[in-house]
């Protein structure tokens, strides 16, 4: 497959990010489609933000490739949501699998790693598969919001992503949780029913718990630890060091 060659220089990316800072997510998506498609893709974990972006892309450019990193540990409700999205929009989100099945992976490591080495588990079953999936692409769309974590707070609407050799586009960066659910309600966007059962943020089932009223919406992810990110959205410098 053809290697990725970025059309935009860092200063052009910074200029685009400043220009798009105050526009709607739909306008950000139209810019991304006009600039990068068909070498544009989106990764989604089927969170409410991702479902909003799928709704928007269905109207703007439904042929953008959308993938889900199927770790083998996702909730059944998450997998069923993929089918509901397909029926609603005619968009079949593509599963990207790790090299090893869950059984093979746990056999290789003498058991599950998610409770003892969660960073390695995330790296092996999410980061590495995404690196393979993006070969030949120039940009990817994420559904992060800047108010979710410290790493996301310092992101740009458009930014270089040295970890994957792409331009990263974050259309919902300035949205709030309220903005997301207002859009879902207004447009009847399909969403994961676990959100109605005190799961505001949903990842793999072994590492996701419901949260109590008043808690941070990501407090149920790797609960009881300092870990708040799987690694996909941790910003790296071009030398590979993380911040």
Domain ranges within the chain, ordered by starting residue? 10-207
Q: Select the CATH number that applies to the domain covering 10-207 from these four: 3.40.630.10, 1.10.10.10, 3.40.50.620, 3.40.50.720.
A: 3.40.50.620
Catalytic residue among 121, 122, 207, 230: 230
H runs (alpha helix) in the chain:
10-20, 25-36, 48-60, 76-89, 102-108, 118-122, 128-133, 150-153, 177-187
**For the chain, which ranges sit under pLDDT 70?**
1-6, 149, 226, 228-243
Residue 159 CB-density burial (10 A; 0-12 exposed, 13-18 middle, 19+ buried) = buried
52 catalytic per annotation: no
What span, in angstroms and rounded, lies between the C-alpha atoms of 20 and 62? 22
Q: Is the dihedral of CA 105, 107, 117, 241 positive or negative?
A: negative
Integer Cα distance of 234 and 144 in angstroms = 11
Token pair of 12 as six digits: 């052009």
- Contact between 138 and 4 (Cβ < 8 Å): yes
């Amino acid at each position: 497959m053809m290697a990725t060659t970025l059309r935009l220089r860092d200063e052009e990316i910074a200029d685009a990010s400043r220009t798009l800072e105050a526009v709607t997510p739909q306008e950000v998506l139209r810019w991304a489609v006009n600039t990068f498609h068909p070498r544009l893709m989106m990764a989604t974990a089927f969170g409410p933000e991702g479902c909003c972006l799928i709704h928007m892309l269905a109207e703007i450019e439904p042929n953008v490739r959308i993938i889900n990193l199927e770790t083998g540990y996702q909730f059944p409700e998450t997998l069923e949501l993929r089918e509901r999205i397909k029926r609603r929009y005619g968009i079949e989100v593509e599963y990207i699998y790790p090299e090893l099945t869950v059984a093979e992976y746990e056999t290789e490591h003498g058991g599950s790693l998610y409770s003892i080495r969660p960073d390695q588990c995330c790296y092996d079953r999410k980061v590495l598969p995404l690196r393979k999936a993006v070969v030949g692409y120039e940009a990817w769309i994420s559904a992060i919001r800047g108010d979710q974590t410290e790493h996301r707070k310092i992101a740009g609407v458009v930014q270089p992503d040295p970890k994957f050799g792409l331009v990263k586009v974050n259309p919902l960066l300035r949205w709030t949780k309220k903005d997301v659910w207002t859009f879902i309600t207004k447009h009847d966007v399909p969403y994961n029913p676990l959100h109605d059962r005190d799961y505001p943020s949903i990842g793999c089932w072994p590492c996701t718990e419901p949260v109590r009223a008043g808690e941070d919406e990501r407090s149920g992810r790797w609960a009881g630890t300092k870990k708040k990110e799987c690694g996909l959205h941790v910003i790296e410098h071009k030398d590979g060091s993380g911040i």
